[in-house]
Amino acid sequence: MTHGKIPGKFFTKEEEDKIVQAIGEAEKNTSGEIRVHLHRSFQGDTIEEGKKIFEKLGMTQTRDRNGILFLLELKHQQLILLGDTGIHQKVSEHFWEEIRDIVLLEFKQSKFAEGLVQGILRCGEKLKEFFPRQEGDIDELSNQITEGAD
């Protein structure tokens, strides 16, 4: 058995602000909802755990089913991108690969906040093609970063 030191704050306040701002910026153009969640460690299968968290965060509750979650699993340093059913009907696999590559390019240089910001903004651009923002749009899911343990 082994254990590692649990990181306190993954992002500085400044980085967190930047990410939250990027989400707000992206959501200006689209009715889609973008969210970032940090998870300390997955016990089981990555995709299954990811889907559970997606549900738990209420990501499936948007009217147009157009939520996207940037999920970071810190222990094994995994990025999981999850989109709701409305988005899956519209986009191809290429959409996810493009966003992933944009994020990982920065992550490889340990620029985690920057990677998320880039990925989020690109998501906003892409989402507006399929889900343009409508008059009277509401913020269905908070833009704040959430955290969980297991």
Based on CB atoms, which residue is closest to Ca ion, 4 or 136? 136
Residue 141 as a binder of Ca ion (CB under 5 A): the answer is yes
Of 149, 147, 150, 144, whose CA–CA distance to 33 is shortest? 144
Residue 139 as a binder of Ca ion (CB under 5 A): the answer is yes
Closest separation in Å from C-beta 139 to Ca ion = 4
Residue 19 as a binder of Ca ion (CB under 5 A): the answer is no
Residue from 69, 95, 143, 145 in contact with Ca ion (CB under 5 A): 143
Of 52, 32, 16, 17, whose CA–CA distance to 140 is shortest? 32
Closest separation in Å from C-beta 81 to Ca ion = 16
Based on CB atoms, which residue is closest to Ca ion, 21 or 46? 21
Residue 129 as a binder of Ca ion (CB under 5 A): the answer is no
Q: DSSP alpha helices (H): ranges in the chain?
A: 13-27, 46-56, 85-90, 93-107, 112-130
Q: Do strands 67-73 and 33-39 pair parallel, antiparallel, or not at all (unpaired)?
A: parallel
Based on CB atoms, which residue is closest to Ca ion, 55 or 139? 139
Residue 137 as a binder of Ca ion (CB under 5 A): the answer is yes
Long-range contacts of range 108-114, CB-CB < 8 Å, 24 or more positions apart?
112/10, 112/11, 112/15, 112/72, 113/11, 113/15, 113/16, 113/18, 113/19
Stretch that binds Ca ion, among 43-51, 68-76, 100-108, 140-148 (CB under 5 A): 140-148
Instruction: Tally helices (H) and strands (E) across the chain.
Output: 5, 4
Q: Among residue numbers 36 through 75, which ones bind Ca ion (CB under 5 A)? A: none
Residue from 33, 49, 84, 114 in contact with Ca ion (CB under 5 A): 33
Residues of this chain that interact with Ca ion (CB under 5 A) are 33, 137, 139, 141, 143
